């Protein structure tokens, strides 16, 4: 973040803290301490490198403070997010390729790591400006929370609900901190090795009717790409406890600045049509989600054009080894694969069940299978891949342990475009309200 923005964040916090006479700022404040115990095991079965296995266990703490707003037409507040991870078990042989715990100077896992994020906020009517640490959840940028600690970004974001049934969002992101790091970096596209520091975005969600939502977002990552997103979500109520949701998504991504001119470092890796690293992609998907009582059945299809891989913000190829880890607003963004290679066409199906329907609230399970083919390669051959994921979650509903959550994720993938892998994630989470 620039010095000007850092100063403004601090100033907003100071103003808010100096306004303690305003009851809303204090009485509306909330603070929680989240704890997450996470075991991660990723087993590479084959590939060009010797088979290797990442296996680590860590404890995370997340202190989340959100103030209220001062009184008046312009309300001011400040939020703070403190994150700390403690390594419980790792080793030189099992830390290889880690995406959860930062590496020390000898490439072993660090004993502990931490970071602090501050966010100043200003609210006027139904509009809010946030400046500082952000965790966006937008079609064009989704903060990743797939390991011990979440990925965070730094910048500014405005959200407005001034118009009925229309939510508008815009802003700029300048830095990112990876889920396995304490250090912030610049920004990059998937496969890019040179930093950019300007990601501008704007868009909105329009609730056309109570059952239909239309979305449009625009984003530009300086020297990498411009991206437009169009989305339609419709829910049809069929009867009691029965519905059918239709979810349509389309991304149009084109090169911008240095990527279009072929400047080294801003080119992306992977297949591109002219072997020039230039971003040129159209990705669309359609999914149907049928719900009946505790049952949920999803069927869908996704198509990636052949100009280049689908890309969004991802710092995984930058020098900071902990900068990697990104989430995509795609049904195919799964435990191991994303099914976003140039030319790839993917069919997927999922079955989910909420055991509350059988009198066991808090217990949920799902299984998904994805099959992708027509993956483009420089040789002209086409490749294919598949993945199967299982998800099981349970949250204790009563007793002294009420709110404690248990989760298990198991994934298996077989790919001609990357290494075959088996992955397991086990985690226990609990949140304690402090205010």
pLDDT in tens, 71-121: 989 999 999 999 999 999 997 678 887 889 999 888 889 999 999 999 999
With cut-offs at 50, 70 and 90, classify the pLDDT of residue 20: very low
pLDDT above 90 covers a percentage of the chain that reads 82
Phi-psi region of 299 (alpha: psi -120 to 50; beta: other; left: phi over 0): beta
With cut-offs at 50, 70 and 90, classify the pLDDT of residue 49: confident
181 has which bridge partners?
none
Neighbours of 324 (CB within 10 A): 20
CA 276 to chain centre: 28
pLDDT at 3: 52
- Could you give the CA distance from residue 285 to residue 344 in angstroms, rounded to a whole number? 12
Q: Are 208 and 216 in contact (CB under 8 A)?
A: no
Asked if the model's pLDDT at residue 13 lies above 60, the reply is no
**Average pLDDT for 327-340:** 97
pLDDT at 9: 52
- Three-state SS for 222? coil
- Could you give the CA distance from residue 299 to residue 369 in angstroms, rounded to a whole number? 10
pLDDT at 269: 92
Asked if the model's pLDDT at residue 6 lies above 70, the reply is no
* Mode of pairing for the β-strands spanning 295-304 and 53-66: unpaired
Asked if the model's pLDDT at residue 40 lies above 60, the reply is yes
pLDDT at 24: 79
pLDDT at 38: 98
DSSP per residue, 169-189? EEEEEEEEE-TT-SSEE-B-B
pLDDT at 1: 44
Q: What is the pTM of this model?
A: 0.92
Asked if the model's pLDDT at residue 48 lies above 90, the reply is no
The phi and psi torsions of 149 (rounded to 5 degrees) equal -120, 150
Asked if the model's pLDDT at residue 246 lies above 90, the reply is yes
- Could you give the CA distance from residue 144 to residue 338 in angstroms, rounded to a whole number? 14
Q: Write the CB contacts of 163 (distance below 8 Å, at least 6 apart in sequence).
A: none
For 157-179, write each residue's pLDDT tens digit: 999 999 999 999 999 999 999 99
With cut-offs at 50, 70 and 90, classify the pLDDT of residue 149: very high
Q: Are 223 and 196 in contact (CB under 8 A)?
A: yes
**Higher per-residue confidence, 92 vs 125:** 125
**Average pLDDT for 270-288:** 96
pLDDT above 70 covers a percentage of the chain that reads 94
Asked if the model's pLDDT at residue 18 lies above 70, the reply is no
DSSP per residue, 211-262? SEEEEEEEEEETTTEEEEEEEEEEEEEEETTEEEEEEEEEEEEEE-THHHHT
pLDDT at 21: 42
Hey, which bits of 90-151 come out as E strands?
112-124, 127-134, 137-138, 141-142
Q: Are 103 and 91 in contact (CB under 8 A)?
A: no
Neighbours of 80 (CB within 10 A): 17
Q: Where in the chain are the domains?
A: 3-433
For 282-322, write each residue's pLDDT tens digit: 999 999 999 999 999 999 999 999 999 999 999 999 988 78
Which range (1-5, 72-76, 337-341, 350-354) has the least confidence?
A: 1-5
Instruction: At 220, list the tokens.
Output: 């530009």
Query: Is domain 3-433 annotated with CATH 2.40.30.10?
Result: no
């Amino acid at each position: 973040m620039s010095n000007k923005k850092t100063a403004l964040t601090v100033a907003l916090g100071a103003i808010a803290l100096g306004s303690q006479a305003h009851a809303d700022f204090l009485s509306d404040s909330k603070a929680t301490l989240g704890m997450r115990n996470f075991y991660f095991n990723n087993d590479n079965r084959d590939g060009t490198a010797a088979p290797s296995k990442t296996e680590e266990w860590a404890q995370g703490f997340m202190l989340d403070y959100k103030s209220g707003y001062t009184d008046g037409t312009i309300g001011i507040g400040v939020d703070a997010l403190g994150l700390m991870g403690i390594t419980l078990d790792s080793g030189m042989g099992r830390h290889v390729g880690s995406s959860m715990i930062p590496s020390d100077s000898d490439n072993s896992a660090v004993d502990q790591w931490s970071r602090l994020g501050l966010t100043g906020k200003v609210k006027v009517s139904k509009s809010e400006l946030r400046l500082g640490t952000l965790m966006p959840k937008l079609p064009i940028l989704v903060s990743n929370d797939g390991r011990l600690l979440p990925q965070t970004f730094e910048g500014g974001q405005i959200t407005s609900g001034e118009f009925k049934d229309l939510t508008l969002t815009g802003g700029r992101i300048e830095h990112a901190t990876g889920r396995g790091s304490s250090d912030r970096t610049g920004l990059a596209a998937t496969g890019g090795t040179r930093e950019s520091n300007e990601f501008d975005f704007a868009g909105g969600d329009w609730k056309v009717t109570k059952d239909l939502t239309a979305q449009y977002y625009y984003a530009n990552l300086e020297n990498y790409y411009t991206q437009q997103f169009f989305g339609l979500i419709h829910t049809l109520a069929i009867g009691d406890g029965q519905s059918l949701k239709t979810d349509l998504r389309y991304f149009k991504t084109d090169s911008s600045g240095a990527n279009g001119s072929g400047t080294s470092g801003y080119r992306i890796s992977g297949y591109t049509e002219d072997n020039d690293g230039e971003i040129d992609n159209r990705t669309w998907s359609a999914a149907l989600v049928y719900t009946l009582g505790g049952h949920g059945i999803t069927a869908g299809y996704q198509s990636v054009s052949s100009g280049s891989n689908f890309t969004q913000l991802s710092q995984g190829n930058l020098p900071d080894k902990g900068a990697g880890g990104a989430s995509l607003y795609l049904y195919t963004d799964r435990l191991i694969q994303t099914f976003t290679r140039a030319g790839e066409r993917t069919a997927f199906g999922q079955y989910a069940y909420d055991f509350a329907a059988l009198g066991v609230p808090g217990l949920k399970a799902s299984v998904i299978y994805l099959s992708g083919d027509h993956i483009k390669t420089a040789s002209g051959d086409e490749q294919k891949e598949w993945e199967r994921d299982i998800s099981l979650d349970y949250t204790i509903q009563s007793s002294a342990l009420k709110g404690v959550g248990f989760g298990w994720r198991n994934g298996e993938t077989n790919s001609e475009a990357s290494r075959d892998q088996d992955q397991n994630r086990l985690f226990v989470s609990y949140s304690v309200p402090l205010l």
